[in-house]
Structure formats: C-alpha cells, structure tokens
A = this chain, B = another copy of it.
Amino acid sequence: MSDGLNVAVLGATGAVGREFLDLFEKRAFPVKSLRLLASERSAGVAIPFRGTDVKVETVNEKSFSGVDVAFFSAGAGRSRQWAPVAIDAGAVVVDNSSAFRMDPTVPLVVPEINFDSVRPENRLIANPNCSAIILLMAVAPLRKLGTIGRLIVSTYQSASGGGAAMMQDLLDQSKAYLEGRPVIPKVTPHPYAFNLFSHNTAIDATGANEEESKVVAESQKILEMPELKINVTCVRVPVLRAHSESVTVEFVDKAPSEELVRQTLAQTEGVRVVDDRASNHFPMPWESSGQGDVLVGRIRQDPSHPSAVCLFVSGDQLLKGAALNAVQIAEKIFAKASVSV
C-alpha cells in the first residue's frame, strides 16, 4: 500500500459519490489513481479532486482494469451488472447498494461492529442500509451489557437517502411554499416541504416497506442474531442529510443502568454521547450532519418495561450511513492485506 491504490468510484456524480472524493482528501486515503465512473448521462462532467479536475467516464467492460478498490454507489441494478466485471478485473468492490447485502457469501460490514466477518478471499463487501448502520452503531455496543431481545425503532429519515435529486426537491418545494407558489414534487411521491411521509418504498404483504425489511434483515445479519426481534417504522422528514431514530432496546433479563449505557456508548469508537438534560441538548441533524460520529442521547430507562432502555440517535446519512462506512471498510481491508497490493 506504500505507493497507494488505484481507486474507482461508480456513481461518482451522486450525493454519496461526491462524499467519497471529499473523504479521500480528508482522510488521506492512499489514492494513487482515481477513475470516476457513471452512466452515459453524467459522462464528461469534471469533478475537482486534490486540485485537479477528474473527468467522469462512462462505465464499460474495461473500466476496472488495474483497479485495486472500487466503490459502488449507483443503485442495485448497476451493482449487479458491474460488480462481477470489477472483481474479474482484480478489484475489491465495496458496494453501497442493496444488491448483495443478504447474499450469505458476502460480508455485510460496519467496521466497528463486525469487520471480523471479512475473510481474505472476499472481493465483494456490502455496505449496509443507512438506517441500519446508524441504529447499530448505538445498539451493538450494548450487547456486552446483556442479551438484547427486541428493538423498537421509529426513524426520522432525511432527503439524502433519496439522493441529490431528492435533497434538491426538498429545497425547491420549501422555497415554493415560502414564496406562496404551488408545491409540485418532482422526486418525492408526496409534498415534502413542511411535511413528512411514510418511507417511499413498496409495502409487502405484512405491511412493512422495503426500508423496514432491510433494517430488520441487515441488523440480524450484522449482529449475527438471526432471531433478534425488530419493530421498525421508517418515515421521511424534511431534513437534508442526517437520519435520526427513536430506539427502545429490550433486554432479555435485567436492563443495564442508564449510567452504564452512557459510559459504554461514551467509550465506543464512532459514537458521541450528546445527552445534556440541563440544557435540553440531544442528538439532532443540525449537529450530526457533516460528522463522522453517530450522536446518541435521551438515554433513559423505559418506564413501560422492566428491562428496556430508550435512546435517540442521529447520524449523517451520506457519511456513516454510506460513504464513510465504505471508506472505513476499504481502509481496514488494505491495512490488513497490504502485502497483496
């Protein structure tokens, strides 16, 4: 790794794609060469990186030749199409889509929680759903305090989960509303300005939407707790780039004390406790946005259950919920396997 990595980003012009470039700079990710890839529609766009402009190329069969690590964030369809090509070309793929997350041969990784699920032979690593990552950053550390039996979660999800276009739509709709013009959604299924709506993914026969099903299945896989019971309700709120979640954690036996939960979370890498009751200061998107850490607060005993605790969590959807988690995965892989590069 001494002379760096040949890096590709597929989906370079999207909201997550742009965060990758920013993170490569900020974290001094060892980029030797950078190839930005996207669909034909975005080809030719120039994106600044380390003082020069990098042109976005149309992804094709030869795009991954010589690439050491490819970050994919262009949707499940494109991941299914291009991951085999990139792997055949010798790249390690860190895939931000849902395409391979539940494939039992593919590790689904939050580095602070289960990096040990990555084996040297894995050339494809899945980056989990944003709501699952942000939830588990707060929940996983509590496993050492007792056996968790059930999670009850309601989310407050930002526009960024729907990409740059949804973020712009929220801004445009809000502007229209404030100027007294009609609010006409271009991306969202319902008005988004000063509104909220149930997560805009298809509902299955049990009444769960796809986002909720992802949180359940992926959390069970990441925690290696296939029997963990999870009740999650996913809602979009008019916030730009941070997801928040109201979480109740039920323990099978006795719940740990509030103080022990606070201490444990305060010592967790990637978590920052924001829990100032006196000044009514708790996690919120305004403060979690742009931060790598997931903020956790409102730590308290559940008054309705003898062995449960409540939390409120907020994390940047584009960073820890997507690009940062993917970059951290790559950093750990190439730190560990530096001989192979």
| Residue A231 CB within 8 A of the other chain | yes
Partner among B174, B190, B233 whose Cβ is within 8 Å of the Cβ of A284 = B190
Partner among B171, B194, B206 whose Cβ is within 8 Å of the Cβ of A238 = B194
Q: Tell me, rounded to whole Å, the shortest Cβ–Cβ distance linking A299 to chain B.
A: 7
Query: What is the CA–CA distance of A303 and B200 in the complex, to the nearest angstrom?
Result: 20
Q: Are B233 and A285 in contact (CB under 8 A)?
A: no
Query: What is the CA–CA distance of A197 and B280 in the complex, to the nearest angstrom?
Result: 9
Chain A contributes a number of interface residues (CB within 8 A of B) equal to 60
Residues in chain A within 8 A of chain B (CB atoms): 150-152, 154, 156, 170-171, 174-175, 178, 189-191, 194-198, 200-203, 206-209, 216, 229-231, 233, 235, 237-240, 244, 246, 248, 258, 277-278, 280-282, 284-286, 297-305, 308, 310, 312
Query: What is the CA–CA distance of A235 and B196 in the complex, to the nearest angstrom?
Result: 13
Partner among B156, B198, B301 whose Cβ is within 8 Å of the Cβ of A235 = B156
| Integer count of this chain's copies in the complex | 2
Query: What is the CA–CA distance of A201 and B154 in the complex, to the nearest angstrom?
Result: 21
Query: What is the CA–CA distance of A187 and B128 in the complex, to the nearest angstrom?
Result: 38
A–B pairs, 17, beta carbons within 8 Å = A154-B233, A194-B238, A194-B239, A194-B286, A196-B284, A196-B285, A201-B280, A203-B280, A206-B300, A207-B299, A208-B300, A231-B248, A231-B305, A233-B246, A237-B238, A238-B239, A246-B246
Query: What is the CA–CA distance of A268 and B150 in the complex, to the nearest angstrom?
Result: 32
Q: Are A239 and B303 in contact (CB under 8 A)?
A: no
Which residues in B have their C-beta under 8 angstroms from that of A238?
194, 237-239
Closest B residue to A282 by CB, please name it.
B198
Query: What is the CA–CA distance of A282 and B151 in the complex, to the nearest angstrom?
Result: 23
Q: Which of A151, A194, A203, A239 has the most CB of B within 10 A?
A: A194
Which residues in B have their C-beta under 8 angstroms from that of A152?
152, 248, 304
Which residues in B have their C-beta under 8 angstroms from that of A286?
190-191, 194-195, 197
Partner among B198, B277, B285 whose Cβ is within 8 Å of the Cβ of A312 = B198
Partner among B197, B206, B285 whose Cβ is within 8 Å of the Cβ of A194 = B285
Q: Are B284 and A195 in contact (CB under 8 A)?
A: yes
Query: What is the CA–CA distance of A284 and B198 in the complex, to the nearest angstrom?
Result: 8
Partner among B207, B246, B304, B305 whose Cβ is within 8 Å of the Cβ of A300 = B207
Q: Are A303 and B206 in contact (CB under 8 A)?
A: yes
Closest B residue to A306 by CB, please name it.
B229
Closest B residue to A278 by CB, please name it.
B203
Query: What is the CA–CA distance of A189 and B190 in the complex, to the nearest angstrom?
Result: 29
Query: What is the CA–CA distance of A272 and B237 in the complex, to the nearest angstrom?
Result: 22
Q: Are B196 and A237 in contact (CB under 8 A)?
A: yes
Query: What is the CA–CA distance of A278 and B299 in the complex, to the nearest angstrom?
Result: 37
Closest B residue to A159 by CB, please name it.
B194
Q: Are B154 and A246 in contact (CB under 8 A)?
A: yes
In the complex, besides A156-B235, A189-B280, A229-B304, 20 extra interface pairs with C-beta distance below 8 angstroms are A152-B304, A154-B154, A190-B286, A194-B238, A194-B240, A196-B244, A197-B282, A198-B282, A198-B297, A201-B280, A203-B277, A206-B301, A207-B258, A207-B277, A208-B300, A216-B303, A230-B303, A231-B302, A231-B308, A233-B298
